[in-house]
């Protein structure tokens, strides 16, 4: 029997990012339900970014904060292969590699700002200019810490996040699957995703959301959701990478079954 046989998992990633995770889950026997809780779009600043930033060789380091930053911001590199690039996590590094760029700095052991900031090459940045390719809003910790270490930080906000607005039929089908117990695990790879899901949930969902296990990508996300009233059990993956999310479910399922 497959290790996740019959386990219902609600995948809340944007449509373009959901399918790889669904394929991995299905390969282990899980049943996937898809409900995008966030929508990613190019920022309105895209048209003027290149002119505003000027020549990129004026930067000592260019940091991409996510795979979405690569998706919407790799064009800024203009096919130049001589730039020093950093990535917040392996998924971001892989996206840059697939776009044809070599990544010099990737955090070890974790895929977040704290992991990147722990890298030896980012400890002494006095006089360095750093370009941070990111989305509008989000955490400011990376930029503020780089500045505290002496770097001059310029941001390029290449995408923006919006709460998804699924149609009524998809919402009704998700509600039915939750209330009937077909969904036992809810994914939330960011606090924003989890909070958007809570905001779109109707009253009948609330008890079902509390009964399910939530699969999150970090203890920080779990804490933020708990601060907003999510009392459900939390399963914490090592990173937001698809394979780490699946690994967390496999470990939980094995522990629950006594295997």
Mean pLDDT of 121-139: 91
Q: How many CA atoms lie within 13 Å of 32's alpha carbon, on the beta-carbon side? A: 21
Q: Which of 68, 206, 152, 78 is nearest to 87 (CA)?
A: 68
Mean pLDDT of 196-213: 86
pLDDT value at 259 more than 60: no
Band of pLDDT at residue 45, cut at 50, 70 and 90: confident
Helix (H) or strand (E) holding 47: helix 46-53
Per-residue burial over 203-224, b = 16 or more CB atoms within 10 Å of its CB, e = otherwise: eebeebbeebbbbbbbeebbeb
pTM assigned to the model: 0.85
3-state secondary structure of 139: coil
pLDDT value at 137 more than 90: no
Structure tokens at 114: 């704290």
Residue 105: DSSP 8-state? B
pLDDT value at 154 more than 60: yes
Q: Which fold has domain 41-162?
A: Rossmann fold (3.40.50)
**Which pLDDT score, from 0 to 100, does residue 204 have?**
76
**Which pLDDT score, from 0 to 100, does residue 15 have?**
84
Residue 151: DSSP 8-state? -
Tokens 């990613």 -> residue:
40
| Lowest-confidence segment of 42-51, 144-153, 159-168, 187-196 by average pLDDT | 42-51
For the chain, what percent of residues have pLDDT higher than 90? 72
Per-residue pLDDT tens digits for 210-255: 889 999 998 989 999 999 889 899 999 988 889 999 999 999 999 8
Query: Strand pairing of 185-188 and 8-11?
Result: parallel
CATH, domain 8-37+164-257, list 3.30.565.10, 3.40.50.10090, 3.40.50.10420, 3.30.110.30 = 3.40.50.10090
Q: Evaluate whether 146 touches 252 at the Cβ level (below 8 Å).
A: no
pLDDT value at 258 more than 60: no
Q: Where are the domains of the chain?
A: 8-37+164-257, 41-162
**Which pLDDT score, from 0 to 100, does residue 3 have?**
94
List, in sequence order, every residue forming a beta bridge with 235; answer none if it has no partner: 215
Band of pLDDT at residue 209, cut at 50, 70 and 90: confident
d(CA 125, CA 91): 25
**Which pLDDT score, from 0 to 100, does residue 123 have?**
93
* Identical fold between 8-37+164-257 and 41-162: yes
Q: Evaluate whether 37 touches 197 at the Cβ level (below 8 Å).
A: yes
Per-residue pLDDT tens digits for 58-114: 999 999 999 999 999 999 998 999 999 999 988 899 999 999 999 999 988 777 888
Band of pLDDT at residue 257, cut at 50, 70 and 90: low
């Amino acid at each position: 029997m497959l290790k996740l046989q019959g386990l219902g998992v609600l995948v809340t990633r944007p449509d373009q990012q959901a399918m790889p995770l669904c394929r991995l889950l299905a390969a282990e026997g899980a049943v996937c339900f898809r409900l995008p809780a966030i929508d990613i779009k190019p920022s309105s600043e895209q048209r003027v970014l290149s002119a505003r930033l000027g020549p990129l060789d004026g930067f000592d380091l260019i940091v991409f904060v996510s795979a979405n930053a690569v998706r919407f911001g790799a064009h800024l590199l203009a096919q130049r292969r001589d730039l020093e690039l950093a990535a917040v996590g392996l998924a971001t590094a892989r996206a840059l590699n697939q776009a044809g760029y070599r990544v010099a700095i990737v955090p070890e052991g974790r895929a977040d700002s704290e992991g990147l900031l722990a890298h030896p090459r980012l400890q002494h940045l006095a006089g360095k200019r750093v370009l941070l390719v990111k989305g509008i809003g989000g955490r400011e910790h990376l930029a503020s810490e780089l500045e505290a270490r002496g770097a001059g930080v310029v941001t390029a906000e290449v995408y923006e996040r919006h709460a998804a607005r699924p149609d009524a039929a998809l919402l009704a089908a998700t509600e039915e699957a939750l209330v009937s117990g077909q969904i036992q695990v809810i994914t939330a790879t960011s606090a924003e995703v989890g909070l958007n899901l809570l905001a779109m949930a109707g009253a009948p969902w609330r008890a079902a959301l509390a009964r399910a296990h939530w699969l999150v990508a970090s203890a920080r996300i779990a804490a933020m959701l708990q601060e907003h009233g999510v009392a459900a059990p939390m399963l914490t993956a090592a990173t937001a990478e698809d394979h780490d999310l699946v690994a967390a479910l496999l470990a939980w399922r094995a522990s629950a079954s006594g295997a």
